[in-house]
Structure 1
Amino acid sequence: MEQRKGSELAWDGRRGNAWVDLQPMLDRLFFPLEQILADAAVTQSPRNVLDVGCGTGATTLAIARRLAPLGTCCGVDISEAMLDHARHRAMAESAKNARFLAGDAQRYRFETGSFDAVVSRFGVMFFDDPEAAFANIGNAVAPGGRLTSLVWRSREENPFMTAAERAAAPLLGWGAPVDPHEPGQFAWSDPDRVARLLRAAGWHSVDVVSLDVRCRMTEADLHRYARCLGPVGMILPSLESSLRDRVLAVLDAAFVEFLIDGAVQFDAACWMVSAQAGSRPC
Protein backbone atom coordinates (compact mmCIF):
# COMPACT_ATOMS: atom_id res chain seq x y z
CA MET A 1 0.00 0.00 0.00
CA GLU A 2 2.80 2.42 0.81
CA GLN A 3 4.27 1.94 -2.65
CA ARG A 4 1.03 3.07 -4.23
CA LYS A 5 0.72 6.13 -2.02
CA GLY A 6 4.36 7.08 -2.56
CA SER A 7 4.14 6.94 -6.34
CA GLU A 8 0.86 8.86 -6.22
CA LEU A 9 2.66 11.82 -4.68
CA ALA A 10 6.07 11.65 -6.40
CA TRP A 11 5.48 14.49 -8.84
CA ASP A 12 9.08 15.62 -8.79
CA GLY A 13 10.52 12.22 -9.62
CA ARG A 14 9.58 9.43 -11.99
CA ARG A 15 5.95 10.51 -12.22
CA GLY A 16 6.77 14.08 -13.20
CA ASN A 17 9.21 12.83 -15.83
CA ALA A 18 6.52 10.52 -17.24
CA TRP A 19 4.14 13.45 -17.64
CA VAL A 20 6.84 15.38 -19.48
CA ASP A 21 7.53 12.47 -21.80
CA LEU A 22 3.83 11.96 -22.53
CA GLN A 23 2.85 15.66 -22.63
CA PRO A 24 1.59 15.74 -26.25
CA MET A 25 -0.60 12.69 -25.69
CA LEU A 26 -1.95 13.94 -22.36
CA ASP A 27 -2.70 17.37 -23.83
CA ARG A 28 -4.73 15.71 -26.59
CA LEU A 29 -6.53 13.52 -24.08
CA PHE A 30 -7.50 16.35 -21.74
CA PHE A 31 -8.01 19.06 -24.36
CA PRO A 32 -11.83 19.13 -23.89
CA LEU A 33 -11.34 19.73 -20.16
CA GLU A 34 -8.69 22.39 -20.81
CA GLN A 35 -11.15 24.29 -23.02
CA ILE A 36 -13.96 24.10 -20.46
CA LEU A 37 -11.69 25.44 -17.74
CA ALA A 38 -10.22 28.19 -19.92
CA ASP A 39 -13.71 29.29 -20.99
CA ALA A 40 -14.82 29.52 -17.37
CA ALA A 41 -11.64 31.24 -16.21
CA VAL A 42 -11.86 34.22 -18.59
CA THR A 43 -15.60 34.87 -18.17
CA GLN A 44 -15.02 37.88 -15.90
CA SER A 45 -12.01 39.17 -17.87
CA PRO A 46 -9.41 38.67 -15.12
CA ARG A 47 -6.06 40.39 -15.42
CA ASN A 48 -3.91 37.99 -13.37
CA VAL A 49 -4.80 34.31 -13.09
CA LEU A 50 -3.10 31.69 -10.90
CA ASP A 51 -3.06 28.09 -12.19
CA VAL A 52 -2.53 25.66 -9.29
CA GLY A 53 -0.79 22.39 -10.13
CA CYS A 54 -0.05 23.60 -13.64
CA GLY A 55 2.10 20.61 -14.63
CA THR A 56 3.55 20.96 -18.12
CA GLY A 57 1.61 24.17 -18.70
CA ALA A 58 -1.24 23.34 -21.08
CA THR A 59 -3.96 25.15 -19.11
CA THR A 60 -1.68 28.05 -18.14
CA LEU A 61 -0.83 28.64 -21.80
CA ALA A 62 -4.43 28.23 -22.96
CA ILE A 63 -5.57 30.93 -20.53
CA ALA A 64 -2.58 33.18 -21.30
CA ARG A 65 -3.46 33.08 -25.01
CA ARG A 66 -6.99 34.24 -24.24
CA LEU A 67 -5.87 37.02 -21.93
CA ALA A 68 -3.14 38.44 -24.19
CA PRO A 69 -1.96 41.11 -24.45
CA LEU A 70 -3.23 42.67 -21.22
CA GLY A 71 -3.74 39.72 -18.87
CA THR A 72 -1.33 37.13 -17.48
CA CYS A 73 -1.50 33.57 -16.24
CA CYS A 74 0.95 32.20 -13.68
CA GLY A 75 1.32 28.46 -13.13
CA VAL A 76 2.61 27.00 -9.87
CA ASP A 77 3.74 23.40 -9.38
CA ILE A 78 6.08 21.31 -7.24
CA SER A 79 7.61 19.43 -10.17
CA GLU A 80 10.75 21.09 -11.52
CA ALA A 81 10.78 18.69 -14.48
CA MET A 82 7.28 19.67 -15.54
CA LEU A 83 7.93 23.37 -14.95
CA ASP A 84 11.08 23.32 -17.08
CA HIS A 85 9.03 21.78 -19.87
CA ALA A 86 6.27 24.35 -19.40
CA ARG A 87 8.76 27.23 -19.60
CA HIS A 88 10.23 25.87 -22.82
CA ARG A 89 6.73 25.63 -24.29
CA ALA A 90 6.01 29.23 -23.32
CA MET A 91 9.27 30.39 -24.91
CA ALA A 92 8.56 28.41 -28.07
CA GLU A 93 5.29 30.24 -28.63
CA SER A 94 6.55 33.59 -27.30
CA ALA A 95 3.93 33.58 -24.55
CA LYS A 96 5.40 36.45 -22.56
CA ASN A 97 2.25 36.70 -20.44
CA ALA A 98 2.69 33.15 -19.09
CA ARG A 99 5.05 32.52 -16.19
CA PHE A 100 5.75 29.63 -13.87
CA LEU A 101 6.64 29.34 -10.17
CA ALA A 102 8.22 26.36 -8.44
CA GLY A 103 6.59 25.63 -5.11
CA ASP A 104 3.85 24.01 -3.08
CA ALA A 105 0.74 26.21 -3.31
CA GLN A 106 -0.18 25.14 0.23
CA ARG A 107 2.90 26.89 1.61
CA TYR A 108 4.16 29.26 -1.11
CA ARG A 109 4.37 32.89 0.04
CA PHE A 110 2.29 34.54 -2.65
CA GLU A 111 1.95 38.29 -2.63
CA THR A 112 -1.33 39.16 -0.93
CA GLY A 113 -4.13 39.89 -3.39
CA SER A 114 -1.85 39.56 -6.40
CA PHE A 115 -4.31 37.48 -8.47
CA ASP A 116 -7.94 38.10 -9.33
CA ALA A 117 -8.76 34.51 -10.32
CA VAL A 118 -7.43 31.02 -9.64
CA VAL A 119 -7.91 27.85 -11.66
CA SER A 120 -6.79 24.24 -11.49
CA ARG A 121 -7.16 21.20 -13.71
CA PHE A 122 -6.76 18.17 -11.46
CA GLY A 123 -4.12 19.93 -9.36
CA VAL A 124 -5.70 20.47 -5.93
CA MET A 125 -6.34 16.92 -4.70
CA PHE A 126 -2.80 16.30 -3.42
CA PHE A 127 -2.48 18.79 -0.55
CA ASP A 128 -1.77 17.18 2.82
CA ASP A 129 -3.82 19.97 4.48
CA PRO A 130 -6.35 21.23 1.90
CA GLU A 131 -7.94 23.73 4.29
CA ALA A 132 -4.57 25.37 4.95
CA ALA A 133 -3.79 25.25 1.24
CA PHE A 134 -6.93 27.10 0.23
CA ALA A 135 -6.54 29.61 3.03
CA ASN A 136 -3.09 30.36 1.61
CA ILE A 137 -4.35 30.48 -1.98
CA GLY A 138 -7.25 32.66 -0.89
CA ASN A 139 -4.82 35.15 0.60
CA ALA A 140 -3.18 35.42 -2.84
CA VAL A 141 -6.50 36.30 -4.50
CA ALA A 142 -8.07 39.74 -4.32
CA PRO A 143 -11.50 39.93 -2.62
CA GLY A 144 -14.15 38.82 -5.08
CA GLY A 145 -11.71 36.77 -7.14
CA ARG A 146 -13.06 33.50 -8.48
CA LEU A 147 -11.84 29.94 -8.06
CA THR A 148 -12.63 27.49 -10.85
CA SER A 149 -11.28 23.97 -10.46
CA LEU A 150 -11.84 20.59 -12.09
CA VAL A 151 -11.45 17.56 -9.82
CA TRP A 152 -12.30 13.90 -10.25
CA ARG A 153 -15.49 12.40 -8.91
CA SER A 154 -15.35 8.93 -7.35
CA ARG A 155 -13.30 5.91 -8.35
CA GLU A 156 -16.51 4.06 -9.16
CA GLU A 157 -17.59 6.77 -11.61
CA ASN A 158 -14.22 6.72 -13.38
CA PRO A 159 -13.65 3.10 -14.44
CA PHE A 160 -11.11 4.04 -17.13
CA MET A 161 -8.96 5.94 -14.65
CA THR A 162 -8.97 3.03 -12.21
CA ALA A 163 -8.80 0.11 -14.71
CA ALA A 164 -5.05 -0.49 -14.38
CA GLU A 165 -5.08 -0.36 -10.60
CA ARG A 166 -8.10 -2.65 -10.27
CA ALA A 167 -6.62 -5.18 -12.68
CA ALA A 168 -3.13 -5.25 -11.17
CA ALA A 169 -4.04 -4.96 -7.47
CA PRO A 170 -4.47 -8.72 -6.86
CA LEU A 171 -1.05 -9.42 -8.39
CA LEU A 172 0.63 -6.62 -6.44
CA GLY A 173 -1.06 -7.30 -3.11
CA TRP A 174 -2.80 -3.94 -3.01
CA GLY A 175 -5.99 -3.50 -1.04
CA ALA A 176 -8.60 -0.77 -1.18
CA PRO A 177 -7.50 2.66 0.12
CA VAL A 178 -8.02 2.87 3.87
CA ASP A 179 -8.86 6.58 3.76
CA PRO A 180 -10.79 7.68 0.66
CA HIS A 181 -9.80 11.30 1.36
CA GLU A 182 -6.04 10.75 1.57
CA PRO A 183 -4.11 12.98 -0.85
CA GLY A 184 -4.47 11.58 -4.34
CA GLN A 185 -6.50 11.58 -7.51
CA PHE A 186 -9.90 11.03 -5.89
CA ALA A 187 -9.42 12.94 -2.63
CA TRP A 188 -12.02 15.54 -3.67
CA SER A 189 -14.68 13.08 -4.78
CA ASP A 190 -17.10 14.05 -1.96
CA PRO A 191 -18.77 17.34 -2.96
CA ASP A 192 -20.07 18.09 0.54
CA ARG A 193 -16.58 17.72 1.97
CA VAL A 194 -15.18 19.96 -0.77
CA ALA A 195 -17.70 22.68 0.05
CA ARG A 196 -16.95 22.43 3.78
CA LEU A 197 -13.21 22.66 3.21
CA LEU A 198 -13.48 25.74 1.04
CA ARG A 199 -15.84 27.54 3.41
CA ALA A 200 -13.57 26.72 6.36
CA ALA A 201 -10.66 28.18 4.37
CA GLY A 202 -12.51 31.49 3.91
CA TRP A 203 -14.15 31.05 0.50
CA HIS A 204 -17.85 31.64 -0.09
CA SER A 205 -20.49 31.20 -2.80
CA VAL A 206 -19.20 27.66 -3.23
CA ASP A 207 -20.75 25.65 -6.05
CA VAL A 208 -19.94 22.07 -7.02
CA VAL A 209 -21.40 20.94 -10.35
CA SER A 210 -21.25 17.48 -11.90
CA LEU A 211 -19.54 17.33 -15.29
CA ASP A 212 -19.06 14.40 -17.68
CA VAL A 213 -16.65 15.01 -20.56
CA ARG A 214 -15.95 12.57 -23.38
CA CYS A 215 -12.20 11.98 -23.80
CA ARG A 216 -10.44 10.03 -26.54
CA MET A 217 -7.04 8.57 -27.35
CA THR A 218 -5.61 6.24 -29.97
CA GLU A 219 -4.86 2.60 -29.25
CA ALA A 220 -1.15 3.38 -29.59
CA ASP A 221 -1.47 6.15 -26.99
CA LEU A 222 -3.32 3.75 -24.69
CA HIS A 223 -0.38 1.35 -24.76
CA ARG A 224 1.97 4.06 -23.46
CA TYR A 225 -0.60 5.49 -21.04
CA ALA A 226 -1.24 2.16 -19.31
CA ARG A 227 2.47 1.37 -18.93
CA CYS A 228 3.82 4.74 -17.86
CA LEU A 229 1.24 6.55 -15.72
CA GLY A 230 -0.58 6.06 -12.46
CA PRO A 231 0.42 3.85 -9.50
CA VAL A 232 0.84 0.77 -11.70
CA GLY A 233 2.94 2.56 -14.31
CA MET A 234 5.20 3.91 -11.57
CA ILE A 235 5.91 0.50 -10.08
CA LEU A 236 6.25 -1.51 -13.30
CA PRO A 237 9.99 -0.85 -13.90
CA SER A 238 10.87 -2.15 -10.42
CA LEU A 239 9.01 -5.47 -10.73
CA GLU A 240 10.87 -8.68 -11.44
CA SER A 241 10.37 -9.81 -15.01
CA SER A 242 7.84 -12.64 -14.55
CA LEU A 243 5.57 -10.53 -12.35
CA ARG A 244 5.90 -7.58 -14.74
CA ASP A 245 4.82 -9.80 -17.65
CA ARG A 246 1.75 -10.95 -15.72
CA VAL A 247 0.84 -7.37 -14.81
CA LEU A 248 1.20 -6.26 -18.44
CA ALA A 249 -1.09 -9.07 -19.55
CA VAL A 250 -3.86 -8.05 -17.15
CA LEU A 251 -3.43 -4.39 -18.13
CA ASP A 252 -4.00 -5.20 -21.80
CA ALA A 253 -7.14 -7.18 -20.92
CA ALA A 254 -8.46 -4.47 -18.58
CA PHE A 255 -8.62 -1.77 -21.25
CA VAL A 256 -10.27 -3.82 -24.02
CA GLU A 257 -13.73 -2.63 -22.99
CA PHE A 258 -12.76 0.99 -23.71
CA LEU A 259 -11.62 0.34 -27.29
CA ILE A 260 -14.14 1.27 -29.97
CA ASP A 261 -13.07 0.99 -33.62
CA GLY A 262 -9.40 1.17 -32.73
CA ALA A 263 -9.67 4.16 -30.41
CA VAL A 264 -10.32 4.69 -26.71
CA GLN A 265 -13.38 6.58 -25.58
CA PHE A 266 -14.43 7.23 -22.01
CA ASP A 267 -16.26 9.82 -19.94
CA ALA A 268 -14.21 11.80 -17.44
CA ALA A 269 -16.51 12.10 -14.42
CA CYS A 270 -15.58 15.39 -12.75
CA TRP A 271 -16.76 18.09 -10.43
CA MET A 272 -16.43 21.69 -11.53
CA VAL A 273 -15.81 23.55 -8.28
CA SER A 274 -16.27 27.31 -8.09
CA ALA A 275 -16.03 29.73 -5.18
CA GLN A 276 -15.33 33.37 -4.40
CA ALA A 277 -12.50 34.78 -2.30
CA GLY A 278 -12.83 37.34 0.46
CA SER A 279 -15.71 38.33 2.70
CA ARG A 280 -19.23 37.48 1.63
CA PRO A 281 -20.89 40.61 0.23
CA CYS A 282 -23.63 42.14 2.37
Structure 2
Amino acid sequence: MTDTSQHALWNGPSGEVWVEAQALLDGMFAPLAEQLAGAVPAGQPAQVLDVGCGTGAVCLAIAARLGEGGHCSGVDISAPMIARAVERAAAAGLQIDFAVGDAQRHRFAPARLDRIVSRFGVMFFDDPVQAFANLRQATRSGGTLHALAWRSAAENPFMTTAERAAAPFLALPPRTADGPGQFAFANRQRVRDILADSGWRDIDVTAVGQVCSIRTADLHRYVSLLGPVGGMLRDPQIDAALRTRVLQVVEQAFAPFVQGDRVEFVAACWALRAVAP
Protein backbone atom coordinates (compact mmCIF):
# COMPACT_ATOMS: atom_id res chain seq x y z
CA MET A 1 0.00 0.00 0.00
CA THR A 2 1.50 3.32 -1.04
CA ASP A 3 1.60 6.51 0.95
CA THR A 4 -1.01 7.91 -1.45
CA SER A 5 -3.44 5.13 -0.60
CA GLN A 6 -2.76 5.54 3.13
CA HIS A 7 -3.64 9.22 2.77
CA ALA A 8 -6.85 8.37 0.92
CA LEU A 9 -7.75 5.68 3.45
CA TRP A 10 -7.35 7.79 6.58
CA ASN A 11 -8.84 10.93 5.05
CA GLY A 12 -11.83 9.00 3.79
CA PRO A 13 -14.08 6.36 5.33
CA SER A 14 -11.54 4.91 7.78
CA GLY A 15 -10.71 8.27 9.31
CA GLU A 16 -14.38 9.21 9.54
CA VAL A 17 -15.24 5.90 11.21
CA TRP A 18 -12.47 6.29 13.78
CA VAL A 19 -13.90 9.69 14.66
CA GLU A 20 -17.37 8.17 14.96
CA ALA A 21 -16.04 5.37 17.16
CA GLN A 22 -13.67 7.59 19.16
CA ALA A 23 -15.21 6.94 22.58
CA LEU A 24 -15.40 3.18 21.98
CA LEU A 25 -11.79 2.97 20.81
CA ASP A 26 -10.49 5.24 23.58
CA GLY A 27 -12.12 2.95 26.12
CA MET A 28 -10.76 -0.16 24.44
CA PHE A 29 -7.18 1.07 24.30
CA ALA A 30 -7.16 3.16 27.49
CA PRO A 31 -4.67 0.82 29.27
CA LEU A 32 -2.18 1.34 26.44
CA ALA A 33 -2.58 5.11 26.55
CA GLU A 34 -1.92 4.88 30.28
CA GLN A 35 1.26 2.90 29.63
CA LEU A 36 2.65 5.58 27.34
CA ALA A 37 1.53 8.52 29.46
CA GLY A 38 2.61 6.92 32.73
CA ALA A 39 6.16 6.58 31.43
CA VAL A 40 6.41 10.37 31.03
CA PRO A 41 7.72 11.81 34.32
CA ALA A 42 4.99 13.91 35.93
CA GLY A 43 5.64 17.61 36.31
CA GLN A 44 8.55 17.69 33.87
CA PRO A 45 8.94 20.42 31.22
CA ALA A 46 9.30 17.83 28.46
CA GLN A 47 8.67 18.41 24.75
CA VAL A 48 6.68 15.38 23.56
CA LEU A 49 5.41 14.34 20.12
CA ASP A 50 2.72 11.69 19.57
CA VAL A 51 3.09 10.08 16.14
CA GLY A 52 -0.14 8.86 14.57
CA CYS A 53 -2.01 10.65 17.33
CA GLY A 54 -5.47 9.98 15.88
CA THR A 55 -8.22 11.66 17.84
CA GLY A 56 -5.81 12.68 20.60
CA ALA A 57 -6.27 10.32 23.54
CA VAL A 58 -2.55 9.83 24.24
CA CYS A 59 -1.79 13.53 23.78
CA LEU A 60 -4.52 14.47 26.24
CA ALA A 61 -3.18 12.04 28.84
CA ILE A 62 0.40 13.26 28.46
CA ALA A 63 -0.39 16.97 28.33
CA ALA A 64 -2.22 16.67 31.64
CA ARG A 65 0.98 15.30 33.25
CA LEU A 66 3.52 17.81 31.98
CA GLY A 67 4.88 20.59 34.15
CA GLU A 68 5.37 24.27 33.37
CA GLY A 69 7.29 24.67 30.13
CA GLY A 70 6.30 21.20 28.96
CA HIS A 71 4.37 20.75 25.75
CA CYS A 72 2.75 17.91 23.84
CA SER A 73 2.03 17.91 20.13
CA GLY A 74 0.51 15.36 17.79
CA VAL A 75 0.79 14.55 14.11
CA ASP A 76 -1.45 12.34 12.02
CA ILE A 77 -2.15 11.87 8.34
CA SER A 78 -5.91 11.98 8.95
CA ALA A 79 -7.53 15.41 8.81
CA PRO A 80 -10.86 14.17 10.27
CA MET A 81 -9.12 12.67 13.28
CA ILE A 82 -6.96 15.75 13.83
CA ALA A 83 -10.06 17.94 13.73
CA ARG A 84 -11.60 15.82 16.48
CA ALA A 85 -8.37 15.95 18.50
CA VAL A 86 -8.35 19.76 18.31
CA GLU A 87 -11.95 19.86 19.59
CA ARG A 88 -11.12 17.56 22.50
CA ALA A 89 -8.03 19.53 23.56
CA ALA A 90 -10.00 22.77 23.52
CA ALA A 91 -12.80 21.21 25.58
CA ALA A 92 -10.23 19.96 28.11
CA GLY A 93 -8.51 23.34 28.30
CA LEU A 94 -5.17 21.85 27.24
CA GLN A 95 -2.64 23.58 24.98
CA ILE A 96 -1.74 20.89 22.45
CA ASP A 97 -0.52 21.51 18.92
CA PHE A 98 -1.97 19.13 16.34
CA ALA A 99 -0.81 18.91 12.73
CA VAL A 100 -2.11 17.03 9.71
CA GLY A 101 0.96 15.45 8.19
CA ASP A 102 2.93 12.35 7.34
CA ALA A 103 5.57 11.91 10.03
CA GLN A 104 7.78 10.21 7.44
CA ARG A 105 8.13 13.46 5.50
CA HIS A 106 6.95 16.21 7.87
CA ARG A 107 9.51 18.98 8.43
CA PHE A 108 9.95 18.92 12.19
CA ALA A 109 12.17 21.44 13.95
CA PRO A 110 15.55 19.73 14.44
CA ALA A 111 16.74 18.40 17.81
CA ARG A 112 13.79 19.84 19.73
CA LEU A 113 11.92 16.86 21.17
CA ASP A 114 12.64 15.13 24.47
CA ARG A 115 10.33 12.20 23.78
CA ILE A 116 8.45 10.63 20.91
CA VAL A 117 5.53 8.32 21.67
CA SER A 118 3.08 6.38 19.54
CA ARG A 119 0.20 4.01 20.13
CA PHE A 120 -0.20 1.94 16.97
CA GLY A 121 0.82 4.83 14.72
CA VAL A 122 4.19 3.69 13.33
CA MET A 123 3.25 0.64 11.25
CA PHE A 124 1.83 2.53 8.27
CA PHE A 125 4.91 4.16 6.72
CA ASP A 126 5.81 3.17 3.16
CA ASP A 127 9.50 3.69 4.07
CA PRO A 128 9.85 3.10 7.83
CA VAL A 129 13.63 3.68 7.85
CA GLN A 130 13.13 7.12 6.35
CA ALA A 131 10.30 7.79 8.81
CA PHE A 132 12.28 6.88 11.92
CA ALA A 133 15.32 8.79 10.63
CA ASN A 134 13.13 11.86 10.20
CA LEU A 135 11.81 11.45 13.74
CA ARG A 136 15.33 10.94 15.10
CA GLN A 137 16.58 14.21 13.64
CA ALA A 138 13.69 15.97 15.40
CA THR A 139 14.83 14.53 18.75
CA ARG A 140 17.57 16.05 20.89
CA SER A 141 20.61 13.99 21.81
CA GLY A 142 19.54 11.62 24.59
CA GLY A 143 15.86 12.02 23.74
CA THR A 144 13.79 8.87 23.69
CA LEU A 145 11.35 6.92 21.56
CA HIS A 146 8.58 4.85 23.16
CA ALA A 147 6.10 3.29 20.75
CA LEU A 148 3.63 0.42 20.83
CA ALA A 149 3.06 -1.73 17.74
CA TRP A 150 1.07 -4.89 17.19
CA ARG A 151 2.87 -8.21 17.16
CA SER A 152 1.65 -10.85 14.71
CA ALA A 153 -1.91 -11.58 13.64
CA ALA A 154 -1.51 -15.09 15.09
CA GLU A 155 -0.76 -13.57 18.51
CA ASN A 156 -3.78 -11.26 18.24
CA PRO A 157 -6.73 -13.53 17.43
CA PHE A 158 -9.27 -10.95 18.60
CA MET A 159 -8.11 -8.57 15.89
CA THR A 160 -8.68 -11.10 13.11
CA THR A 161 -11.78 -12.90 14.44
CA ALA A 162 -14.16 -10.89 12.25
CA GLU A 163 -12.14 -11.58 9.10
CA ARG A 164 -11.96 -15.31 9.72
CA ALA A 165 -15.67 -15.56 10.45
CA ALA A 166 -16.67 -13.43 7.45
CA ALA A 167 -14.32 -15.11 4.97
CA PRO A 168 -16.96 -17.58 3.64
CA PHE A 169 -19.26 -14.66 2.80
CA LEU A 170 -17.04 -11.75 1.76
CA ALA A 171 -14.06 -11.40 -0.59
CA LEU A 172 -11.87 -9.56 1.88
CA PRO A 173 -8.58 -7.99 0.73
CA PRO A 174 -5.54 -10.02 1.78
CA ARG A 175 -3.14 -8.61 4.36
CA THR A 176 0.48 -8.11 3.28
CA ALA A 177 3.21 -9.45 5.53
CA ASP A 178 5.38 -6.36 5.90
CA GLY A 179 2.76 -3.67 5.49
CA PRO A 180 2.15 -0.85 5.59
CA GLY A 181 -0.61 -2.02 7.88
CA GLN A 182 -1.67 -3.16 11.31
CA PHE A 183 0.76 -6.10 11.56
CA ALA A 184 3.66 -4.63 9.56
CA PHE A 185 5.92 -4.77 12.65
CA ALA A 186 5.17 -8.38 13.57
CA ASN A 187 8.79 -9.44 13.03
CA ARG A 188 10.86 -8.31 15.99
CA GLN A 189 14.21 -8.44 14.18
CA ARG A 190 12.83 -6.37 11.33
CA VAL A 191 11.74 -3.72 13.82
CA ARG A 192 15.18 -3.69 15.45
CA ASP A 193 16.84 -3.38 12.04
CA ILE A 194 14.56 -0.48 11.06
CA LEU A 195 15.43 1.44 14.21
CA ALA A 196 19.16 0.72 13.86
CA ASP A 197 19.23 1.64 10.17
CA SER A 198 17.47 4.93 10.95
CA GLY A 199 20.14 5.93 13.45
CA TRP A 200 18.63 5.18 16.85
CA ARG A 201 20.69 3.49 19.57
CA ASP A 202 20.09 1.57 22.81
CA ILE A 203 17.28 -0.21 21.01
CA ASP A 204 14.92 -2.44 22.97
CA VAL A 205 11.96 -4.27 21.46
CA THR A 206 10.07 -6.06 24.23
CA ALA A 207 6.94 -8.20 24.03
CA VAL A 208 4.12 -6.84 26.18
CA GLY A 209 0.53 -7.98 26.65
CA GLN A 210 -2.26 -5.78 27.93
CA VAL A 211 -5.84 -6.76 28.69
CA CYS A 212 -8.20 -4.47 26.79
CA SER A 213 -11.98 -4.56 26.62
CA ILE A 214 -15.22 -3.06 25.38
CA ARG A 215 -18.75 -3.40 26.67
CA THR A 216 -20.57 -6.45 25.32
CA ALA A 217 -23.33 -4.03 24.34
CA ASP A 218 -20.85 -2.30 22.00
CA LEU A 219 -19.73 -5.43 20.14
CA HIS A 220 -22.31 -5.03 17.37
CA ARG A 221 -21.19 -1.46 16.75
CA TYR A 222 -17.52 -2.45 16.82
CA VAL A 223 -18.04 -5.19 14.24
CA SER A 224 -20.29 -3.02 12.07
CA LEU A 225 -17.86 -0.11 11.87
CA LEU A 226 -14.27 -1.21 12.22
CA GLY A 227 -11.67 -3.32 10.48
CA PRO A 228 -11.79 -4.84 6.99
CA VAL A 229 -15.18 -6.45 7.66
CA GLY A 230 -16.72 -3.25 8.94
CA GLY A 231 -15.34 -1.41 5.94
CA MET A 232 -16.89 -3.87 3.51
CA LEU A 233 -20.22 -3.93 5.33
CA ARG A 234 -20.46 -0.15 5.06
CA ASP A 235 -20.52 -0.48 1.26
CA PRO A 236 -24.07 0.49 0.21
CA GLN A 237 -23.90 -2.11 -2.56
CA ILE A 238 -23.77 -4.95 -0.03
CA ASP A 239 -27.07 -6.82 0.07
CA ALA A 240 -28.95 -6.10 3.31
CA ALA A 241 -29.71 -9.78 3.96
CA LEU A 242 -26.04 -10.68 3.47
CA ARG A 243 -24.98 -7.89 5.81
CA THR A 244 -27.35 -9.14 8.50
CA ARG A 245 -26.12 -12.72 8.09
CA VAL A 246 -22.46 -11.73 8.24
CA LEU A 247 -23.00 -9.66 11.38
CA GLN A 248 -24.74 -12.56 13.08
CA VAL A 249 -21.95 -15.00 12.25
CA VAL A 250 -19.19 -12.58 13.17
CA GLU A 251 -20.71 -11.59 16.50
CA GLN A 252 -21.13 -15.28 17.40
CA ALA A 253 -17.44 -15.82 16.59
CA PHE A 254 -16.49 -13.40 19.38
CA ALA A 255 -18.16 -15.61 22.00
CA PRO A 256 -14.83 -16.87 23.43
CA PHE A 257 -13.94 -13.28 24.36
CA VAL A 258 -17.20 -12.43 26.10
CA GLN A 259 -16.95 -12.24 29.88
CA GLY A 260 -20.37 -11.17 31.11
CA ASP A 261 -20.92 -7.54 30.23
CA ARG A 262 -17.37 -7.13 28.84
CA VAL A 263 -15.60 -8.39 25.76
CA GLU A 264 -11.97 -8.88 26.80
CA PHE A 265 -8.80 -9.70 24.89
CA VAL A 266 -5.05 -9.42 25.28
CA ALA A 267 -3.37 -6.89 22.99
CA ALA A 268 -0.08 -8.58 22.09
CA CYS A 269 2.32 -5.75 21.30
CA TRP A 270 5.93 -4.79 20.94
CA ALA A 271 7.13 -1.95 23.13
CA LEU A 272 9.74 -0.11 21.05
CA ARG A 273 12.26 1.93 23.02
CA ALA A 274 15.33 3.70 21.69
CA VAL A 275 17.56 6.73 22.32
CA ALA A 276 18.65 9.45 19.90
CA PRO A 277 22.46 9.64 19.70
The TM-score bracket by the shorter chain reads over 0.9
Tell me if structure 2 keeps the 8 A contact 1:8–1:230.
no
One-letter amino acid matched to 1:169: A
Q: Deviations over 1:221-269 (max 9, x none)?
A: 1111111011111111212223323321221121111111132111111
Structure 2 vs 1, CA of residues 165 and 21 (structure 1 numbering), >3 Å: closer, same or farther?
same
One-letter amino acid matched to 1:12: N
Structure 2 vs 1, CA of residues 8 and 218 (structure 1 numbering), >3 Å: closer, same or farther?
farther
Structure 2 vs 1, CA of residues 156 and 8 (structure 1 numbering), >3 Å: closer, same or farther?
farther
Moved segments of 4+, more than 2 Å: 6-9, 41-46, 173-177, 240-243
**2-structure distance, mates of 1:71, 1:219:** 39
Residue number in structure 2 paired with 1:237: 234
Q: Deviations over 1:199-225 (max 9, x none)?
A: 000011110111111112111211111
**2-structure distance, mates of 1:74, 1:80:** 15
Residue number in structure 2 paired with 1:131: 129
Moved more, 57-66 or 166-175: 166-175
Residue number in structure 2 paired with 1:119: 117
Q: CA deviation at 1:40?
A: 1.8
**2-structure distance, mates of 1:260, 1:9:** 37
Corresponding pairs, count:
272
Residue number in structure 1 paired with 2:13: 14
One-letter amino acid matched to 2:75: V
Residue number in structure 1 paired with 2:82: 83
Q: Deviations over 1:51-88 (max 9, x none)?
A: 00000000011111100432111000011111111011
One-letter amino acid matched to 2:223: A
1:44-55 paired onto structure 2 within 5 Å: 45=44, 47-55=46-54
Instruction: Tell me the secondary structure at the aligned position of residue 102 of structure 2.
Output: coil
Q: CA deviation at 1:173?
A: 2.6
Instruction: Tell me the secondary structure at the aligned position of residue 151 of structure 1.
Output: strand
One-letter amino acid matched to 1:191: R
Tell me if structure 2 keeps the 8 A contact 1:148–1:274.
yes
Tell me if structure 2 keeps the 8 A contact 1:203–1:277.
yes
**1-structure distance, mates of 2:116, 2:187:** 21
In structure 1, list runs of 5 or more residues that go unmatched. none
One-letter amino acid matched to 2:248: A
In structure 2, list runs of 5 or more residues that go unmatched. none
Structure 2 vs 1, CA of residues 269 and 8 (structure 1 numbering), >3 Å: closer, same or farther?
farther
**2-structure distance, mates of 1:7, 1:127:** 9
Tell me if structure 1 keeps the 8 A contact 2:7–2:78.
no
Structure 2 vs 1, CA of residues 165 and 175 (structure 1 numbering), >3 Å: closer, same or farther?
same
Residue number in structure 1 paired with 2:139: 141
Q: CA deviation at 1:43?
A: 7.6
Tell me if structure 1 keeps the 8 A contact 2:6–2:124.
no
Residue number in structure 1 paired with 2:92: 93
